[in-house]
Amino acid sequence: MTPVVWQRVEGAGIFTASIALAGFTQSGWPLWVWPLALLAPDVSMLGYLAGPRIGAAVYNAAHLYANGLILALLGLMIGAPDLIAAGGIWMAHVGIDRALGYGLKTAAGFRDTHLGRIGRD
């Protein structure tokens, strides 16, 4: 398998584990919160309104596994299941993005990622 395929498989695994983490720690959220929380990191696409270089930086900063992990660990340290679940959802978002081929962006434009070009040319 190529490195890109490995990263996509890894993303699927992280998505699955992170959804389980979120589900085990937070069962009290209304159902409508889950898809909203799962899509929340994509608000970072608004950075592209300032141009591709700034847009890529803002998007990439919001699409790191470390953000969700730090949030989940903070929740674990202070005993806050909502933070653990939010961190799990954040990691799940990044994982499913990677699994679907939506990688970290380059300054060349939104469609150019570290996993290859998105969409048809």
Convert the pLDDT of each residue in 6-50 to its tens digit: 989 999 999 999 999 888 887 788 889 989 999 999 999 999 999
Q: For 17, how many CA atoms within 13 A lie in the half-sphere containing its CB?
A: 13
Q: Is the pLDDT of residue 110 over 90?
A: no
With the C-alpha atoms ordered 37, 41, 45, 50, is the resulting torsion angle positive or negative? positive
**Domain that residue 55 falls in:** 3-117
The larger pLDDT score, comparing residue 104 to residue 36, is at: 36
Interacting residues of 15 by C-beta distance below 8 A, sequence separation 6+: 92, 95, 96, 99
Specify the amino acid at residue 49. Answer: L
> How many separate domains does the chain show?
1
Please work out, in degrees rounded to the nearest 5, the angle formed at the alpha carbon of residue 84 by the alpha carbons of 79 and 90: 160
pLDDT at 119: 62
Is the distance from CB of 110 to CB of 52 less than 8 angstroms?
yes
3-state secondary structure of 27: coil
This prediction's pTM? 0.89
